[in-house]
Amino acid sequence: MPPVPPVPSSASPPRDPRAPILVIVHQAHSTCGRVGAVLRARGHILDRRVPLLGDPLPADLSGHAGVVVFGGPMSANDDHRDGIRAELAVLERAMGAGLPVLGICLGAQMMARVAGARVSRHPAERVQIGYYPLWPTAAGRRRGLFDGETPAEVYHWHTEGFDLPPGATLLARGPDFPNQAFALGERALGIQFHPEVTHEMMERWIHKAAPMLMLPGARPAEDHRAGRRRFDAAVARWVERFLDRWLG
């Protein structure tokens, strides 16, 4: 897939700052968690779609203030799924138009793929499931997205990662999967981790996907809970600032 050139923010058309935000999730029970709560608190209606269950995606995004694509157990490389192909296409349109776009885990991997980067498993088949360190880059600090109050560790649940797309700015790094956050232009941001996860979401994932906790690199369930007690308050503070800067 050829890279999508980022459009400078000055080229983006004026948009209603309280217009609906298109949010794309991947399973019937999926929620937008903390990210959705923050966006609603900022006055946005969430236009929730599940393309993998047949929901159509808007042909015209001019009435939306932004697009958020959340995570899921499928792969950004699943071209045999109509829903994944539809999501890749809407991301290409949104990113090309300079619309604020945020990809979380699978969403970031799809953004990277649209922009011409590879999405793949770890060469040693390692995964990140649980809390892991997050290291801001100088560019991430300069942009105010990953600053001195960035959480020391963040929550992950993924088996694949992404190469840095051509022309992208690396904002944060981490162990095993070094590319943890990137920017394409001023308005498109991808993050590999899950700041949206609530306590209830975490417990549901732990119970429904318990066998994955045995994969190489995964943390045991008790470490998930301990990590949440230690780091979640910082994640909650950080994600509000991050989303405000993303929406401008």
pLDDT at residue 46, rounded to an integer: 97
How many of the other CB atoms lie within 10 Å of CB of 9?
Answer: 12
How many of the other CB atoms lie within 10 Å of CB of 211?
Answer: 8
- CA dist 184 and 186 (Å) reads 6
Mind listing the pLDDT tens digit of every residue in the chain (248 residues)? 656 654 444 445 455 667 899 999 999 999 999 999 999 999 999 999 999 999 999 999 999 999 999 999 999 999 999 999 999 999 999 999 999 999 999 999 999 999 999 999 999 999 999 999 999 999 999 999 998 889 999 999 999 999 999 999 999 999 999 999 999 999 999 999 999 999 999 999 999 999 999 999 999 999 999 999 999 999 999 999 999 999 98
Which of the residues are catalytic? 105, 194, 196
Domains of the chain: 9-247 (3.40.50.880)
pTM: 0.93
* DSSP assignment of 113-168: HHTT--EEE-TT---EEEEEE-EE-HHHHHTTSS-TTS-SEEEEEESEEEPPPTT-
